[in-house]
Amino acid sequence: MRKFAIITALVSLFLILAPVRSYAAGTWEYYINSTDTPTTIDNSVTTAYVDTINNEITLSKKAVPNVISFWPDGELAYAVLKNSGVAIYMFDGSQMVENTTLSINTGENPLALATLDTLPDFTVATSTELQSYVFNGSGMVRNPALETAGLANALSLGTRENDIAGLVNGQYKHYSFTGSGLAENTILEPGVPLTNLLQIALVPDNYDVAVLEKDKVRYFNFSGSDLIENPALSVTGLVNPKAFCVKETGEISVVEGTEVKHYQFDGSSMTYNSVLSISGLTNPTAVAFRPGTWDRVVVDGNQLKYYAFDGSNMVEVPQLSVTVNDIVKGNTYNLQDVAQSQSYNPGLTDRVRVRARHDLPANTTVTWFVTADGTNWTESWRVRNDGVNTYCEVYDSGAWVQVSDASAALPENNTQELWVQVNPGNNVKWRAVLETTDNTVTPKIIGGAQVAVVLESDHTPNAPVINPPPAGCYATSTPTFTWMFSDNDLGDTQSAYQVQVRRKSDGALIYDSGKVMSSNNSFTLPGSTRPDQPSALWSSGEYQYTFQVRTWDSYDQVGNWSAPVDFCVIALERLRVSEIVSPPPGQVAPDPADPSTHIMIFNNMPVDQLPKVKAGAKVQILVDSIGPVDSLTSKFPYLTYEATVADGTPSNINPLGSEVNRWLIEFWTSADKKEVPDGTIVQCNLSGTTAFGTARLKTTAPYEVNLVKIEGSVYEDWMVVIQGRNRP
């Protein structure tokens, strides 16, 4: 298979099909529509709001946990927070009815409600102020003595007698009644850091406090001088709780999922009590205890459902339940929510990439995680807006590293840095964590006509298998190596390769090709074409090496290096003319002391490009040897003759048998133009011997090559002076 794919949204003509699983493509695509969402999103863990009408995923609107409250005396009456204000419901003997005399309009944006010490008094927080109402005998009136600007915009309220506490800007604030007004009382505020607060509660009949965080309820006992956390009375391990309430006995009920879970102290810790828990709800968002009982009112959508204990479990009491169509449901966003995909099975995979389209207001972030085994999540990358710029950052070695701006994460951008290595598995998923520090704005994952999320799975290529080199050593300094590309993704192909050659003795790198964009599975080691630069092999000072290769697949994923393969070279290279004595007109004379002026001789060099020399002129050549060459024999044939090799040459710069050497040879032809007419080609034939006995070096091309072309003769440089004398 090439890259296994599940296409979660495929538009074909007028029909939007359900996700198609295939072993041919390489992506799972999600458009956030009503067709692909049910088969893409895992609702059991997703807390973000998936809007298939507007094709976007956002933070959920923050639940308003304090929208229902009983009075401390336990009367069968409760207050409800509505969009327009507060409604008070009382039992008339047969059912709960609204007491319109006691209900009031608080103005816009009511956020939280709490009843005060005496029925029907209450306090309510709006976005601009705290309003407290008391009954004056004929109706409800404001009581400024129980109001404070410090609790404006509180998202949760708790009361005890005339004390009022609130959750303001993520902080717990407690105000005590002084006899004339409210003043902040820090002694009754927890002295430890609180994070991601959702709701607070003042425990009736004492000074204890409980707070709801995103995964637990923390309980604080009052010591007489401050609040001390009591882990034994805390509830941990919660998953996306929405609201809670605390009974005067310290029992706790938590809204989690579609259930109201009840917890009691068993002598050592808080334990779940299924009998006193409430299940079968649709969308519960708030709960309140009726003091002195286990009875509770649960806000479930627009319904206030009253539950009582019948001796065996909690049952709804319809006549004590009401429907409130305009109950407050929240106007701000959660600070954090999660969207997670269902599982896809690509076969065993170990590399995953997710890309997505975002809308990022200031101070928002979306962090992406991926898994292939369904259990171990890898933090991959995030996009964020710091109020000035947007960023796309990858998580690398415990730190965030910027790649580019947020556009790097778009599905149409092939950002390679977003690929991550994961624990192998066949249970591929993505998870997005949406966050904001401003609860009035939300980051968005956006789809619709364009794909919102693209998930890809891939295997890195296997280490290539190098085809074995020939027996013995290569007789060329530019050997060719071949290998086999291998990838567990059937049909995947090589897109690039990289080779390295190292010295065998110590592993020193002597050649690195870098990444070569090619599907070829062969490589010829280049030699040097410059007269003043030795080859990489010769410069290493040795003749035994190792060769390695690694490959990239069609998704540009790089695999591991192959196992190193040993090879050796015994060869001659870089034949060049280093001196021409008395060159003919037009021929530049190389300087023996300046290698950059030497003339390189290549195989199949056109004769009109060969250096020109005069018949009979001395020519000096240099050639490099790789391998322990013991001797070098040189011949320079032309027509039916052979040039004369100068005594003492070939000479070598290193001792005979050295692993690398450089040889100097001088020769000249006859100067007779009858024997060596213009246009004669002088060839070069070099052969060497080595101590390896059967490994005799007989160079082939480029060393049985045309070397120089004759033009003129050194006789032309001679001038005969005839002298005489007078006879006496």
> 4: pLDDT confidence band, cut at 50, 70 and 90?
very low
Is residue 680 situated within a structural domain? Answer: yes
- What is the model's pLDDT at position 470? 84
* Average pLDDT score over residue span 425-451: 95
* Average pLDDT score over residue span 60-80: 91
Query: Which of 458, 487, 504 represents a domain boundary (last residue)?
Result: 458
Is residue 669 situated within a structural domain? Answer: yes
Average pLDDT, the chain: 90
- What is the model's pLDDT at position 3? 36
Place of tokens 């891939």: 458
Is residue 720 situated within a structural domain? Answer: no
Same domain for 498 and 511, yes or no, is yes
CATH label of the domain that carries residue 687: 2.70.50
Same domain for 585 and 648, yes or no, is yes
| 18-27, 268-277, 426-435, 523-532: the lowest-pLDDT one | 18-27
Query: Which of 435, 458, 481 represents a domain boundary (last residue)?
Result: 458
**What's CA 214's distance to the chain center, in Å?**
26
Same domain for 82 and 169, yes or no, is yes
Is residue 378 situated within a structural domain? Answer: yes
Is residue 723 situated within a structural domain? Answer: no
Query: Which of 458, 473, 488 represents a domain boundary (last residue)?
Result: 458
CATH label of the domain that carries residue 141: 2.120.10.30
Contacts of 343 (CB under 8 A, 6+ apart): 42, 374, 427, 428, 429
Same domain for 445 and 383, yes or no, is yes
Same domain for 185 and 304, yes or no, is yes
* Average pLDDT score over residue span 95-108: 92
Same domain for 267 and 350, yes or no, is no
Task: Please report, rounded to a whole number, the percentage of residues in the chain having pLDDT higher than 70.
Answer: 93
Residue 431 pLDDT more than 50?
A: yes
Is residue 329 situated within a structural domain? Answer: no
Instruction: Work out how many domains the chain is built from and give that number.
Output: 4
Same domain for 434 and 303, yes or no, is no
Same domain for 621 and 519, yes or no, is no
* Average pLDDT score over residue span 203-217: 92
CATH label of the domain that carries residue 487: 2.60.40.10
* Average pLDDT score over residue span 611-623: 97
Beta strands in 301-452 (DSSP E): 303-309, 314-316, 322-323, 336-340, 349-356, 358-359, 364-371, 378-385, 390-396, 399-404, 420-425, 429-436, 444-446
**682/472: higher pLDDT:** 682
Residue 728 pLDDT more than 70?
A: no
> 719: pLDDT confidence band, cut at 50, 70 and 90?
low
CATH label of the domain that carries residue 343: 2.60.120
Closest C-alpha among 511, 467, 460 to residue 487: 460
Closest C-alpha among 62, 61, 48 to residue 198: 62
Residue 115 pLDDT more than 50?
A: yes
- pLDDT 10s digits, 500-524: 999 999 999 999 999 999 999 999 9
* Average pLDDT score over residue span 104-115: 89
Same domain for 92 and 45, yes or no, is no
- pLDDT 10s digits, 235-276: 999 887 889 999 999 999 999 989 999 999 999 999 999 999
Residue 5 pLDDT more than 70?
A: no
| 337-351, 543-557, 572-586, 712-726: the lowest-pLDDT one | 712-726
* Average pLDDT score over residue span 451-480: 91
- What is the model's pLDDT at position 18? 31
Is residue 363 situated within a structural domain? Answer: yes
> 293: pLDDT confidence band, cut at 50, 70 and 90?
very high
Closest C-alpha among 1, 3, 49, 10 to residue 428: 3
Q: In what order do the strands lie in the sheet with 241-246?
A: 241-246, 252-256, 259-265, 270-278
- What is the model's pLDDT at position 358? 98
Is residue 726 situated within a structural domain? Answer: no
* Average pLDDT score over residue span 629-652: 92
Same domain for 559 and 585, yes or no, is no
DSSP assignment of 421-456 equals: EEEEESBBEEEEEEEESSTT---EEE-SSS-SEEEE
- pLDDT 10s digits, 692-705: 643 444 444 345 78
- What is the model's pLDDT at position 2? 32
Q: Which domain holds residue 50?
A: 5-60+334-458
- What is the model's pLDDT at position 24? 27
| 61-70, 84-93, 199-208, 527-536: the lowest-pLDDT one | 61-70
Same domain for 141 and 233, yes or no, is yes
| 75-79, 280-284, 605-609, 702-706: the lowest-pLDDT one | 702-706
Same domain for 402 and 290, yes or no, is no
